[in-house]
Amino acid sequence: DVKVTQSSRYLVKRTGEKVFLECVQDMDHENMFWYRQDPGLGLRLIYFSYDVKMKEKGDIPEGYSVSREKKERFSLILESASTNQTSMYLCASSPVAGKRTNEKLFFGSGTQLSVL
């Protein structure tokens, strides 16, 4: 089974803090993604990466950055946390396009971040 592991289930941070959310996948997937889930807004893509050291902005990248130094690990960074970044953050991975399951994302369990 594909396993996508997010380092923290719950996180509480203060406004202005630098926050790191870590995600590791064990299936050698090329693609990795960060989404946030908010009530009434569904899942929105923040950033994604299709290879080591490669990244692309999603639909709502403002206030976030990412790092992918190794294939299995994709980190989301909140440079200066704000209260409107309180949300459920979901990491996902998928194999490269062309393979049979390329359209399917495998998600971690999520990190509920509260910024006070």
Partner 1 sequence: DQQVKQNSPSLSVQEGRISILNCDYTNSMFDYFLWYKKYPAEGPTFLISISSIKDKNEDGRFTVFLNKSAKHLSLHIVPSQPGDSAVYFCAAKRADTGTASKLTFGTGTRLQVTL
The site for partner 1 (CB under 8 A) is made up of: 4, 9, 30-31, 33, 35, 40-45, 48, 50, 56, 58-59, 90, 92, 94, 96-97, 102-110
Backbone angles phi, psi at 69, to 5 degrees: -90, -25
Please state, in angstroms and rounded to a whole number, the distance separating the CA atoms of residues 22 and 14.
18
**Closer CB to partner 1, 14 or 39, in the complex:** 39
Q: Is 11 left (phi over 0), alpha (psi -120 to 50) or beta?
A: beta
Range list of H helices, 1-116 = none
Q: How far is the CB of 33 from partner 1 (least distance, A)?
A: 8
Q: Which is nearer to partner 1, 75 or 94 (CB)?
A: 94
Q: Tell me how far, at minimum, the Cβ of 26 lies from partner 1, in Å.
A: 15
